[in-house]
A and B are shown apart, each in its own frame.
Chain A
Amino acid sequence: MNKISVIIKREYITRVRKKSFLIMTILAPLLMAGLFVLLPILMMNQEGELKKIAVIEDNSDLFKGVIKNTKDAEFVYLENTKVDDLKKTFEKAGYYGILSISPVLISTPNAVQLISKQQPPIGLLQYIESSLKKEIERQKLLSYKIENLDEIMKSIETNVSVQTIKLDSSGSAKKTSTGIAMALAYLNAFIMYMLVFIFGSQVMRGVIEEKTSRVVEVIISSVKPIQLMMGKIVGIALVGLTQFLIWIFLTMAAVTVLKNTVLQKTGQAEITQSIAHNVMSEDQQATITAKTDNISPQLAEFSKMFDSAMNQPWGLIILCFIFYFITGYLLYASVFAAIGSAVDNETETQQFMLPVTIPIIIGLMVAMGTMQNPESSVSFWCSMIPLTSPIVMMARIPFGVPYWQIAVSMVLMLVTFLGFVWMAAKVYRTGILMYGKKTSWKEMWKWLRYNG
């Protein structure tokens, strides 16, 4: 046992002392955060070019001015132009496309066409559709001849955002947000995938390094192969956990800072408001309410999100994460170690990597699907099957998973990982001393059954 700890210590210290570890630990969260901020911005800017669209109506001007210009699209109403004429020249005239509206639209929904050379973005179509729909509804309402219709319309205009409330078994309700759960699921699955993959392949590279530099022969004459393999795997796992804990710590620090600065303000606003009620005259009160109303909406939205983020089962998430990281990592790392032991250099690993990578990729893909539909049977089964469960289960947990499912998945995981470690150790023991031989799956299967 003492020797294993010497090995673990070396594996841990040589890695943690590397500059790349420090850089990764600090940079990775920044990169992740950057990704989350940048990606939406990039996606929004994709259609940054202003699209000029010619709108032509057949013999009427029912929809003139209905579709308002946006920052992405400008709608130009052309009168006395035939669609067929413009079809040939619209590109030269600087138009992105032609929107042709027939007056029968009010009765038949398909009477609108958007003609363009490129596939128009979905956002543009949705915008046109909803604008036209609103107008048609308005026109239809108008036909009922209701008095003061405009005012009525204004007063009923509302924005709805659904607040989801999840009941847990004890019946207490928690405010949750699907958006937060999705983000969290994505983050969980992705970090799990990254950690298992990055640290798993670090194990493989370590094994190959020892094999090619022949260090292994010196070490194996002092310790058992399984001790060396487990020492390496555990040492690298500790590196991963260290990194993970530093990340959690940094996040918690960031959250605390956020809470004490930004969110403080909403609290203050509410207080001033209630004071206003008691002390001030009605006029003053009105002005202040108006003021606070001005700052509140965004902050209120933010604090709502913050609340529901805090309502996530953080303890469970972190515990499960650590469990699935350790077992999932051990499972894959031992397979990676076996592969590393079977080859002479890194280029030879490819043929073995593919079958190992596939379950991880499937796991990630199912996890992405899980965010759309956490209750699907694919998600359920993949969160039970040990090869994919670390990633998929972590994506499911933010949406709420019955405890028995977590338990079953964990037990399956434990059993499988023990089996994998056992098999990997057998392959490793033989492979590590085998040089200059092209290894095949069949060969590895034979090593599994060697004794001594």
Chain B
Amino acid sequence: MALFEAKNVTKQYGNQLALDNVSISVPEQCIYGLLGPNGAGKTTLIRIINQITGPDSGELFLNGKKLMPEDVQVIGYLPEERGLYKKMKVGEQALYFAQLKGLSKAEAMKRLKYWFKKLDIIDWWGKKVEELSKGMQQKVQFVITVLHEPKLLIFDEPFTGFDHLNTKIVKNEILSLRERGATIIFSTHNMESVEELCDNITLIDKAKTILEGSVDEIRSKWAANEYDLVFDGDVNIEGNGHYIILNQQKESNKSIIRLKTTSDINTNDILQGLMKSGSLISFNPALPSMNEIFIRVVETQN
């Protein structure tokens, strides 16, 4: 069942259409990618989900029930632009935001200590935010977002500003949050992390949904009859009536070849022909990266 659903959401700012009849359906315990170029309307949709602003038309459902103002308690939001009071101390500030989310002071304190220790930031408790580096601030903000254990988490570009090590730490935290039952909406430009993390995606461009579904399905749908072959040793293959060669390269005594079928030929038949050329190590359908799909889809739209 879908934990969160937006149906036919439309929002207009002045003359500009920010969202045009957009629908998304986020299954429970899923990491849902919200993708799209700058200015596509992602932030508007996120703001509508957070009830920062309301849609002009369309409906929102949480757990099958209409989204209510009280539901902010079960939503956690990490905005793209990090927002912390610069002059305030880290610990006090985290307590303040936790209380705004409805936690009691004692409970907030307990959970904060746990998270601060876990992410190894307990030493910063008494420091002012302006003394922290960007990545450190982001860790603090991450803790603030997940502290009240929301059912629905919304991360807008959560990895910008992190080094590799911290990106990995936060990625693992996000995955383990899902294991513990959270559902995550994840907005990003970083397609690598989409492939790694996301189960489902929606691609928005110019206020409209242009692609949606599970990541695996989308990738195989866009695979477009391309295959990757690896041969042992130096092997040369030429195209024939059934396929063309897109790319051939040699690498440490191996030949890596990409071909594209041009007729309705069965993969077994191709393989039979190819096996005569040399000793085949692997044969895989070439799944395009999300990045390629993203660019291709946006380009065809334009």
**Which chain A residues have a beta carbon within 8 Å of chain B's beta carbons?**
3, 6-7, 10, 14, 209-210, 213-224, 433, 446, 452
CB-based contact B83/A217 at 8 Å: yes
CB-based contact B83/A213 at 8 Å: yes
CB-based contact A213/B86 at 8 Å: yes
CB of B99 within 8 Å of the partner chain: yes
CB-based contact B77/A433 at 8 Å: no
CB of B88 within 8 Å of the partner chain: yes
Complex CA gap A230/B21 in Å reads 35
CB of B218 within 8 Å of the partner chain: no
Query: A218 and B144 in contact (CB under 8 A), knowing A3-B100, A6-B99, A213-B86?
Result: yes
Complex CA gap A220/B83 in Å reads 11
CB-based contact B83/A214 at 8 Å: yes
Complex CA gap A221/B152 in Å reads 13
CB of B85 within 8 Å of the partner chain: yes
CB of B72 within 8 Å of the partner chain: yes
Give me 25 A-to-B residue pairs in the complex whose CB atoms sit less than 8 angstroms apart, sorted by A's number.
Answer: A3-B102, A6-B96, A6-B99, A6-B100, A14-B87, A14-B88, A210-B83, A213-B86, A214-B83, A215-B84, A216-B83, A217-B52, A218-B77, A218-B79, A219-B97, A219-B100, A220-B50, A220-B52, A221-B75, A222-B97, A222-B101, A223-B100, A433-B52, A446-B14, A452-B54
User: Hey, what's the 0/1 contact readout for B74-105 against A, CB within 8 Å counting as 1?
Assistant: 01010101111111100000001101111000
CB-based contact A221/B72 at 8 Å: yes
Complex CA gap A329/B81 in Å reads 32
Residues in B whose Cβ lies below 8 Å from that of A215: 83-85
CB-based contact B53/A10 at 8 Å: no
Complex CA gap A10/B72 in Å reads 21
Residues in A whose Cβ lies below 8 Å from that of B99: 3, 6
Apart from A7-B100, A214-B83, A221-B75: 5 A-B pairs, beta carbons within 8 A = A6-B99, A210-B85, A215-B85, A222-B100, A452-B53
Residues B140-160 near A (CB distance < 8 A)? 141, 144
Kindly name the residue among A3, A222, A446 whose own CB sees the greatest number of chain B CB atoms within 10 A.
A222
Residues in B whose Cβ lies below 8 Å from that of A219: 83, 97, 100
Residues in B whose Cβ lies below 8 Å from that of A222: 72, 97, 100-101
Residues in B whose Cβ lies below 8 Å from that of A223: 100
How far apart are B215's CB and chain A's nearest CB, in angstroms?
Answer: 27
CB of B47 within 8 Å of the partner chain: yes
Question: A217: which of B81, B87, B96, B144 is its contact (CB, 8 Å)?
Answer: B81
Report the nearest A residue to B99, measured CB to CB: A6
Residues in A whose Cβ lies below 8 Å from that of B54: 452
Report the nearest A residue to B85, measured CB to CB: A215
Residues in B whose Cβ lies below 8 Å from that of A3: 99-100, 102
CB-based contact A433/B100 at 8 Å: no
Residues in A whose Cβ lies below 8 Å from that of B144: 218
Residues in B whose Cβ lies below 8 Å from that of A10: 96
A-B contact number at CB 8 A: 61
Report the nearest B residue to A443, measured CB to CB: B14
Complex CA gap A433/B141 in Å reads 19
Complex CA gap A209/B130 in Å reads 13
Complex CA gap A196/B77 in Å reads 36
How far apart are B6's CB and chain A's nearest CB, in angstroms?
Answer: 16
User: Hey, what's the 0/1 contact readout for B10-42 against A, CB within 8 Å counting as 1?
Assistant: 000010000000000000000000000000000
Report the nearest B residue to A206, measured CB to CB: B85
Complex CA gap A206/B69 in Å reads 25
Complex CA gap A220/B72 in Å reads 10
Report the nearest B residue to A432, measured CB to CB: B52
Residues in B whose Cβ lies below 8 Å from that of A224: 69
The 10 closest A-B pairs by CB, nearest first: A214-B83, A452-B54, A215-B83, A214-B81, A221-B50, A222-B100, A221-B77, A217-B79, A218-B83, A6-B99
CB-based contact B52/A214 at 8 Å: no
Residues in B whose Cβ lies below 8 Å from that of A217: 52, 77, 79, 81, 83
Question: A214: which of B69, B82, B102 is its contact (CB, 8 Å)?
Answer: B82
CB-based contact A213/B79 at 8 Å: no
Kindly name the residue among A7, A209, A215, A217 whose own CB sees the greatest number of chain B CB atoms within 10 A.
A217
Residues in A whose Cβ lies below 8 Å from that of B88: 14
Complex CA gap A209/B88 in Å reads 12
Residues in A whose Cβ lies below 8 Å from that of B51: 221
Complex CA gap A3/B84 in Å reads 18
Complex CA gap A446/B14 in Å reads 9
How far apart are A344's CB and chain B's nearest CB, in angstroms?
Answer: 13
CB-based contact A213/B84 at 8 Å: yes
Query: A214 and B79 in contact (CB under 8 A), knowing A14-B88, A452-B54?
Result: yes
CB-based contact A221/B97 at 8 Å: no
Residues in B whose Cβ lies below 8 Å from that of A220: 50, 52
Residues in A whose Cβ lies below 8 Å from that of B53: 433, 452
How far apart are A409's CB and chain B's nearest CB, in angstroms?
Answer: 38
Complex CA gap A223/B100 in Å reads 7
How far apart are B204's CB and chain A's nearest CB, in angstroms?
Answer: 19
Complex CA gap A433/B47 in Å reads 10
Residues in A whose Cβ lies below 8 Å from that of B96: 6, 10
How far apart are A288's CB and chain B's nearest CB, in angstroms?
Answer: 66
Report the nearest B residue to A446, measured CB to CB: B14
Report the nearest B residue to A2, measured CB to CB: B102
Complex CA gap A216/B82 in Å reads 10
Complex CA gap A10/B14 in Å reads 35
CB-based contact B82/A221 at 8 Å: no
Complex CA gap A219/B83 in Å reads 9
Residues in A whose Cβ lies below 8 Å from that of B85: 209-210, 213, 215
Residues in A whose Cβ lies below 8 Å from that of B101: 222
How far apart are B248's CB and chain A's nearest CB, in angstroms?
Answer: 49
How far apart are A436's CB and chain B's nearest CB, in angstroms?
Answer: 12
Complex CA gap A223/B77 in Å reads 13
Report the nearest A residue to B86, measured CB to CB: A213
How far apart are B33's CB and chain A's nearest CB, in angstroms?
Answer: 20
Residues in A whose Cβ lies below 8 Å from that of B77: 217-218, 221
Complex CA gap A216/B79 in Å reads 10
Report the nearest A residue to B141, measured CB to CB: A218
Report the nearest A residue to B69, measured CB to CB: A224
How far apart are B109's CB and chain A's nearest CB, in angstroms?
Answer: 14
Complex CA gap A10/B84 in Å reads 14
Complex CA gap A452/B14 in Å reads 14
Report the nearest B residue to A430, measured CB to CB: B53
How far apart are A367's CB and chain B's nearest CB, in angstroms?
Answer: 36
Kindly name the residue among A3, A6, A210, A446 whose own CB sees the greatest number of chain B CB atoms within 10 A.
A6
How far apart are B130's CB and chain A's nearest CB, in angstroms?
Answer: 10
